[in-house]
Structure 1
Amino acid sequence: MLLLPAFVLLLAGLCGAKPLAGKRWNDLAVKHAWVEIPRGWEFHSKPPGDHLLDMRIGLKQAKLEELISSLYEVSDPAHERYGAHLTKEEVDALVAPHPASVGAVESWLQHHGINPSDAHFRSAGGEWITIRVSVAQAERMLGTTYGVYYHAASGSSVVRTMEYSLPQELHSHVDVVTPTTYFGTLHSMRSTSFVQAHSTVGDEDSFAAEISPLAVPASCGTTITPACLRALYNTTAYVPKATATNKLGVSGYLGEFANDADLQTFFKTFRTDAVGGTFTHVQVNGGLNTQSDPGVEANLDIQYTEGISFPTPNTYYSTGGSPPFLADSFTPTNTNEPYLDWLNFILNQTTIPQTFTTSYGDDEQTVPQDYATSVCNLFAQLGARGSSVMFSSGDEGVGGGACTTNDGTNRKIFQPAFPASCPFVTSVGGTQKVNPEVAINFSGGGFSRYFAQPSYQTTAVSSFLNGLGTKFAGLFNATGRAYPDVAAQATGFQVVVGGRTESVAGTSCSSPTFAGVVALLNDFRISEGKAPLGFLNPLFYSTAKTGFNDIVSGSNPGCGQAGFTAGVGWDPVTGLGTPDFLRLQALVA
């Protein structure tokens, strides 16, 4: 008789197990939501429930603070650990999630009928898990409804949602889930280069000749070639020596790739000693390299990184992931986010280039803060491993368009750009003219509203803010990460596209130019038996700050305002200034 109550209790426990588990995972709370459809986008239709997407889950990293602390220590020339960059394995160990986080996420997946062992991708550190799910399944998991949204200006369509939720328990274990509320595609983001009215470059043979660094001709003020840049930034006489070790990487998207034949034409016209030089093509996640209809952006990047750093080995990474959305497609299309594709790919490599450049960006406020923070932390991993990461600062000054907030209040404020606002990258603004250089009016610059001002730039930025006084009060976040950090030429670049020379402008010109100079500095360091420079900003704002040509005139208007003004010292138009290789070489020796 005593067995009956025990049996009843056991049965009650078994019956109650599933509802209790269901409550655990059905107790949803909003993770991120927009109050309005991001500007430029419009709802188009409901995607098919069986349309597949790759859901990325970014788990909280158990030792993230230790990673960032290590990053600053190995990047600070005054620290005893300077240059002692971390190995891939050391970084992976620091970014690994806590076992409790892994267990919670895997239990949640199992609740939704997903075997964690079937994950489409896991990062080496385990902090990113990618699973392939249908739209209907993603909607159940995230308590949301997906839509197909159309971006008229770029012709892009994406599968996104206005908000998403996670079980309360997962909020302490998960940083971000994508694709969800980040609408930016690299088509809509790309704004840092543009083709100018066609210019005649004249006697092509004259551009192949080297220019004395003591007498940069006035023609370089309107027509930029590698010879102009090498003279302006004092790299003409330097011959790379560590070419077996030192590498430079260019990350590209949108199906763009750099054309081999165009590079040879560029070399024959603008740098004859490099004729026959090549670069490595790497295709990530379906990236293209058909060698037909090359992209202006891709050719610009590789022609000028090569034009400055030759014969340093260059690699162009063509990352796919953004073909047009097809309603009847049952494979992942542009639901992917190529930034994450490229970052997860490159961080999974044992050996990576010591220098990177990327020429894409978007208004910071259009990027969900959880997404921006997760991507920024991935750049911290690159820096910790000894890579210098350059990003163009944008082409809209302090902001383009109406510059109103997207939080429902419609306040007018300056619009910082991301990833330029990430404190773990080196943001490159733009200049024009020569003898002297001046800030170009579209040079992106300002202050982040997501990221706090890092200590490495406090002194420089405080000096600028003290001089600014109350001007523009309320339009920017004076305590935010300030950018750009540095600058380089940004207009009149002669680029060969389809065999024809085009004139190109934008901070897309500035970033690969600056990266070329950094690659030479890394070559020098490595050839001397030293570590590469890695994350540059702590060095640049301290012992190397005298290695730049201070830009003291020009401004970056936007948002209906005059914008900031370049002046003595750091400013949010040209940063610390443009590089002087010889001075920097002496400072990093």
Structure 2
Amino acid sequence: MFWLPLSVLAAVPLTLASPLAPRWDDFKVKHAWHDVPRNWKCEGPAPAGTTIDLRIALKPHRENALVDALYEVSSPQHAKYGAHLSKAEVAELVAPHPDTHALVNDWLSHHGVPSSSVSTSHNGGWLTVSSVPVSQADALLGASYQVYRHAETNDTLLRTVGYSLPAILHDHINTVAPSTYFGGPRAWRKTSHLTPNGKILPDGDAEIQAEIAALAKAKEASRLPGSLATVPSSCSSTITPSCLRALYNSSTYTPKATSQNVLGIAGYLEEYASHTDLKTFLTKFRSDATAAAFTVVTVNGGLDNQNSPGDEANLDIQYAESISFPTPNIYYSTGGSPPFVEDGNTPTNTNEPYLDWLQFILEQSTIPQTISTSYGDDEQTVPLDYAQSVCTLFAQLGTQGTSVLFSSGDSGVGDGSCLTNDGTNKKQFIPNFPASCPFVTAVGGTTRVNPEVAASLSSGGFSNYFPRPSYQDAQVTSFIKSIGTSFSGLYNTTGRGFPDISAQAENFQIVLSGRTESIDGTSCASPTAAAVISLLNDFRLSEGKPSLGFLNPLLYSTGTAGLNDITSGSNPGCGTTGFTAVAGWDPVTGLGTPDFGKLQAIVA
């Protein structure tokens, strides 16, 4: 059985409710920043009457149970492989200690919080305390909530640079949000950018399709081995759906389980996917799929503004649809920006995008079998307690049979000065979160064809928060040994390595407001890989088998044979050349890019 010794998941003896009255003033720091996070400036106290909604993650009674179950149902070698859990079964695994709710309720009651303002979610694993006056939040958490303004975006947040809990509650509470997480529109950066000088196809990819057909015919006649022989050289400078379907060997597969299988795209930061642009894109780049449409689901006040399409949202949905057609696609428009309205009358927007979306999706009766997300942040800017709590929510998705994929990022081994934010100002490679979470599949970037090589923008490295999981220990240890003392001290030799796999990430053709644009980023790679995984889930479901769920134990074992190993290219950053792609796993392209045909045979 696979086992992951995460600190957040390590067995911790719970403090039982004391027969004596607990000391609610015996504060112990839960999390605090050494300095105000970069680019944020304190504007002073919130206006009188401002309230805040607090979310409290409670520690489960059996803290290893969820991860144990995740690896049992995700490891091809285990007898329970594919026996995904129901929502109720997951609830049992994450249920708090029997004393936890009573103790936390006593604490809230001591501070005058009415029981009517407290609600539970995730089957009692999370509490939401609504409309808490800021002064009351300060008292509860030994905090000092203030208004902070971002120097570049001018956005404002209500946050505290540190918070504490009574000592007796540390064994019962994982995290409280919003508190010290200063993530905002620039921090939750899109890992993509428009490339106005990139090559743009004026008349669709008919020429590429014709070239693919000619190459396929030549391959058949000469019996050339391998699917890469059918990828036109023009795909090195211009990526279209035809390029990707040929490159990743999925062009001959037609989905059959379209009444069961769903592909989800998580969107944030007021990024809207345009139905009209999708129709134009498919007419130009996949004419047999023009009937494709997607459903929009709004989360936490998210909108669906069809007059303001976003390059990120359009990229995600256009490539997810064009590769997975006719699989149903859902675009989740998650609210959370602007984060704070200083009117003193309404609760602050919590602006915790992943929590907003995760709490929504985990409450649903049905969840897409594959989900792609193209957003991330520097790991060191995310409070550890918050990152750990969010990571375990991704684990819950995996146990229920959902494959979760994330872009690895666009900054190589790190962007800018790469100095730590713990007060030591030490130079260090900067990993990204949630890509560094061991319960998601992180997707790096490649470019060119015949052969593919690593894209220099592809983020990869080693987590400073999460230990290396056993499913990747052999491959990652081998890589670390192979580079010897290179970059010594710049990365965590025992951390979770990412990315896990990769896909094309440059020169993607998209349609934005009716115009064809060229776009780069691992935002291209994640929906591409997710669409291929969605086809595999379709195949499994059509054969009466369960969906794949959490992918990594499969990918690092039998699944490796279904990936195209990338052995050249690097990801420079932090003033260094970065890591280099090599045979086997590497922190640039992971295990390689998917070959649908080979993976289909493996998962059969």
TM-score with structure 1 length normalisation? 0.94
2:201 is matched with which residue?
201
Unaligned runs of 5+ in 2: 1-19, 214-226
Q: Does 1:41 align with 2:40?
A: yes
1:294 is matched with which residue?
309
Query: How big is each residue's C-alpha offset from its partner over 1:340-370, in whole Å with a ceiling of 9 and x where there is no partner?
Result: 0100000001110000000111111111111
Q: Are the counterparts in 2 of residues 525 and 588 from structure 1 also a CA contact under 8 Å?
A: yes
1:536-551 matches, cutoff 5 A: 536-551=551-566
| Deviation of 1:50 (Å) | 1.8
Q: Does 1:388 align with 2:403?
A: yes
Please give the secondary structure, in 2, of the residue aligned with 1:64.
coil
1:533-572 matches, cutoff 5 A: 533-572=548-587
Q: Does 1:99 align with 2:114?
A: no
RMSD: 1.4
Greater gyration radius: 1
| Deviation of 1:291 (Å) | 0.9
Unaligned runs of 5+ in 1: 1-19
1:524 is matched with which residue?
539
Evaluate the alpha carbon distance shift between residue 178 and residue 49 of structure 1 in structure 2; reply closer, same or farther with a 3 A threshold: farther
After the TM superposition, which of the residue ranges 109-118 and 368-377 deviates more from structure 2? Answer: 109-118
Query: How big is each residue's C-alpha offset from its partner over 1:401-457, in whole Å with a ceiling of 9 and x where there is no partner?
Result: 111111111100101110000000000000001111100101000000110100000
* Paired AA for residue 203 in structure 2: D
Q: Does 1:154 align with 2:153?
A: yes
| Deviation of 1:325 (Å) | 2.4
1:130 is matched with which residue?
128
Q: Does 1:248 align with 2:247?
A: no
2:417 is matched with which residue?
402
Please give the secondary structure, in 1, of the residue aligned with 2:481.
helix
Partners of 1:526 and 1:396 lie apart in 2 by: 37
Partner of residue 273 from structure 2, selected from 258, 273, 281? 258
Partners of 1:443 and 1:473 lie apart in 2 by: 21
Partners of 1:365 and 1:200 lie apart in 2 by: 37
Partners of 1:325 and 1:118 lie apart in 2 by: 21
1:169-180 matches, cutoff 5 A: 169-180=168-179
1:50-449 matches, cutoff 5 A: 50-119=49-118, 121-132=119-130, 133-198=132-197, 199-204=199-204, 206=206, 209=209, 211-212=212-213, 214-449=229-464
Q: Are the counterparts in 2 of residues 207 and 269 from structure 1 also a CA contact under 8 Å?
A: no
Query: How big is each residue's C-alpha offset from its partner over 1:462-487, in whole Å with a ceiling of 9 and x where there is no partner?
Result: 11111111111111011100000000
Evaluate the alpha carbon distance shift between residue 34 and residue 473 of structure 1 in structure 2; reply closer, same or farther with a 3 A threshold: same
| Deviation of 1:124 (Å) | 3.3
Partners of 2:285 and 2:420 lie apart in 1 by: 45
* Paired AA for residue 458 in structure 1: D
Partners of 2:148 and 2:160 lie apart in 1 by: 9
1:5 is matched with which residue?
none
| Deviation of 1:51 (Å) | 1.3
Partners of 2:124 and 2:457 lie apart in 1 by: 40
| Deviation of 1:372 (Å) | 0.4
Partners of 2:577 and 2:485 lie apart in 1 by: 14
Partners of 1:534 and 1:186 lie apart in 2 by: 30
How many residue pairs were aligned?
568
Partners of 1:227 and 1:43 lie apart in 2 by: 50
After the TM superposition, which of the residue ranges 307-316 and 109-118 deviates more from structure 2? Answer: 109-118
Partners of 1:441 and 1:454 lie apart in 2 by: 26
Evaluate the alpha carbon distance shift between residue 536 and residue 186 of structure 1 in structure 2; reply closer, same or farther with a 3 A threshold: farther
Partners of 2:116 and 2:563 lie apart in 1 by: 52
| Deviation of 1:278 (Å) | 0.7
Partners of 1:152 and 1:189 lie apart in 2 by: 15
Please give the secondary structure, in 2, of the residue aligned with 1:204.
coil
1:479 is matched with which residue?
494
Q: Are the counterparts in 2 of residues 393 and 417 from structure 1 also a CA contact under 8 Å?
A: yes
Please give the secondary structure, in 1, of the residue aligned with 2:422.
coil
| Deviation of 1:186 (Å) | 4.3
Q: Are the counterparts in 2 of residues 49 and 136 from structure 1 also a CA contact under 8 Å?
A: no
Q: Are the counterparts in 1 of residues 255 and 325 from structure 2 also a CA contact under 8 Å?
A: yes
Partners of 2:341 and 2:603 lie apart in 1 by: 52
Partner of residue 451 from structure 1, selected from 444, 447, 466? 466
After the TM superposition, which of the residue ranges 94-103 and 193-202 deviates more from structure 2? Answer: 193-202
Partners of 2:590 and 2:442 lie apart in 1 by: 9
* Paired AA for residue 351 in structure 1: T
| Deviation of 1:185 (Å) | 2.0
Q: Percent identity?
A: 60
Partners of 1:49 and 1:179 lie apart in 2 by: 19
Q: Are the counterparts in 2 of residues 285 and 319 from structure 1 also a CA contact under 8 Å?
A: yes
Q: Are the counterparts in 1 of residues 339 and 350 from structure 2 also a CA contact under 8 Å?
A: no
TM-score with structure 2 length normalisation? 0.92
Q: Are the counterparts in 1 of residues 441 and 499 from structure 2 also a CA contact under 8 Å?
A: yes
Please give the secondary structure, in 2, of the residue aligned with 1:188.
coil
